[in-house]
Amino acid sequence: MKTLDGGRISIGAMSVGIAQASLDAALKYARERKQFGKAIAEFQAIQFQLADMATEI
């Protein structure tokens, strides 16, 4: 069972890393994507979604 504990820690760490990379990709996309002449990162609804993602990580 001790062998499984190390695997569980690795899977958890990998999941957090993947979540952080996903957030980074979403932030990059939101800053680059333009709608109505400005980046979608400037829209409050998008900011709320990104903030929720960041707090979940």
Q: What pLDDT, on the 0 to 100 scale, is given for residue 3?
A: 74
Domain encompassing residue 38: 2-56
Map tokens 């680059």 to a residue. 32
Q: Is the pTM of this model over 0.95?
A: no
How many structural domains does the chain have? 1
Measured CA to CA, the distance from residue 23 to residue 20 in angstroms comes to: 5
pLDDT tens, the chain, 57 aa long: 677 877 888 999 999 999 999 999 999 999 999 999 999 999 999 999 999 999 999
Map tokens 């980074």 to a residue. 24
Looking at the DSSP bridge assignments, the partners of residue 34 are: 39
CB within 8 A of 25, min separation 6: which ones?
none
CB 41 within 8 A of CB 30: yes
The token pair that represents 47 in the structure block: 């900011």
Q: What CATH number corresponds to the domain at position 27? A: 1.20.140.10
Q: What pLDDT, on the 0 to 100 scale, is given for residue 7?
A: 82
